[in-house]
């Protein structure tokens, strides 16, 4: 059966995956339906594989930001096509993973990776994709890197801050490098061709 890819601005179909939950050292399940029911944002961080090289550096960086993301209402889920058992052993043996407390999900069939367009059928692995889904189930942010370029979790936090602000203030827009407290834009005829006066004024 062919998978329809989800795109930014569209509603993400519900999905479910088995997990290893480092926060309580046990297995579980995660579903988008449950995350939405809890009023949370879903942050999906796909990575190629456990026991690799760039991946633990990314997940450690993400762990450094997990409290900020949680405070913004995000349920963080790191996803690869490994099993939940591999997740458990990797998290508990790799030194860089010691502070990881967020959900590690097992997309063993690649179904969820395919949904977001990050599944590499040649390797059976997922590319480095980061996706933000708002509490209404809409995909509001998408970033995909190839295998050899790691991501910056600080930028993920900035994107979450902007999206949380915009959900509460839908008439506004956030300019480049926006951070909380900075000026936003209010699109309209008065600033057409005159954005500089708003951002620099």
- 174 as an active site residue: the answer is no
Query: Edge-to-edge strands of the sheet including 74-80?
Result: 26-31, 16-21, 103-106, 74-80, 41-46, 128-133, 139-145
Query: Which SS3 state, helix, strand or coil, does residue 164 take?
Result: helix
Candidate list 55, 74, 104, 106, residue with the active-site label: 55
Nearest Cα residue to 97 out of 138, 47, 157, 34: 47
Q: What is the CA radius of gyration of the chain?
A: 18
CA distances from 61 to 7, 22, 65, 104, 169 (A): 26, 16, 7, 15, 29
Catalytic residues: 55
């Amino acid at each position: 059966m062919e998978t329809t890819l989800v795109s930014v601005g569209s509603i993400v179909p519900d999905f479910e995956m088995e997990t290893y939950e480092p926060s309580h050292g046990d297995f579980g399940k995660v579903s988008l339906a449950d995350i939405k029911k809890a009023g949370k944002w879903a942050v999906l961080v796909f990575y190629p594989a456990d026991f690799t090289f760039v991946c633990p550096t990314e997940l450690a960086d993400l762990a450094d930001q997990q409290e900020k993301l949680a405070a913004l209402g995000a349920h963080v889920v790191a996803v690869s096509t490994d099993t939940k058992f591999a997740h458990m052993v990797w998290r508990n043996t790799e030194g860089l993973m010691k502070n990881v407390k967020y959900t590690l999900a097992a997309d063993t069939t690649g179904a969820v990776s395919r949904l977001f367009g990050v599944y590499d059928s040649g390797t059976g692995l997922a590319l480095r994709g980061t996706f933000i889904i708002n509490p209404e189930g809409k995909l509001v942010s998408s970033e995909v890197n190839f295998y050899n370029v790691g991501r910056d979790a600080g930028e993920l936090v900035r994107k979450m801050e902007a999206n949380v602000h915009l959900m509460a203030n839908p008439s506004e827009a956030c300019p480049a490098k926006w951070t909380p407290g900075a000026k936003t834009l209010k699109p309209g005829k008065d600033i057409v061709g005159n954005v500089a006066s708003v951002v620099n004024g």
